[in-house]
Amino acid sequence: MSHDDDATPDLDAFLAAMPAGALNEKMGVEITEVGPERVVATMPVEGNTQPYGLLHGGASVVLAETLGSVGAALHAWPDKVAVGVDINATHHRAARAGTVTGVATPVHLGRSMASFEVVVSDEQGRRVCTSRITCALIDAPPAAR
C-alpha cells in the first residue's frame, strides 16, 4: 500500500472515491463515522422488517457488510480494493422500531485479508446482532487508483 501504516489516509479523498451503493440508499443506511479503528452507521428499522414487524435479519447483515467493507476498503485504499468473501451473523434480540446502529472494529488487518467484528445495537444500546465479515484485498483496477 502506498500509505504508511502509521499514517491516516485522507478520509475526504477516500469517501469521495467510495460510492454509496443503491442498496444502502434503499435501506436508509447512513454512515456517521469512518476511521481506521472504527466505522459506524445507522439504519431505520421501519422499512427493513420481516412479516412479523421485526428488523429483518438480512437487513442487519446488509448493515454489517457495509460497515466491514468500508473498513476493509479504507485499510486497502488506494492501491487495493476490498471484496467480501465471508460473513456470518448471530441475531440476539429483535428490534421493532427506531434506529439501529452498527459499529465495525477490525479483528485483522493484513496485506491480503481484513476481518471486522460488527455489533448492531438498538436505541437502548442492547445488542441486536453480532457479525463478522472477512474481505479479500485485491489490486485495484487502474481506473480506481
Q: Which residues are catalytic?
A: 65
Beta bridge partner(s), residue 127: 121
Contacting residues for 26 by C-beta, under 8 A, at least 6 apart: none
Residue 55 contacts residue 45 (beta carbons within 8 Å)? yes
Nearest to 91 by CA among 64, 51, 66: 64
Q: Computed over its alpha carbons, how large is the radius of gyration of the chain?
A: 15
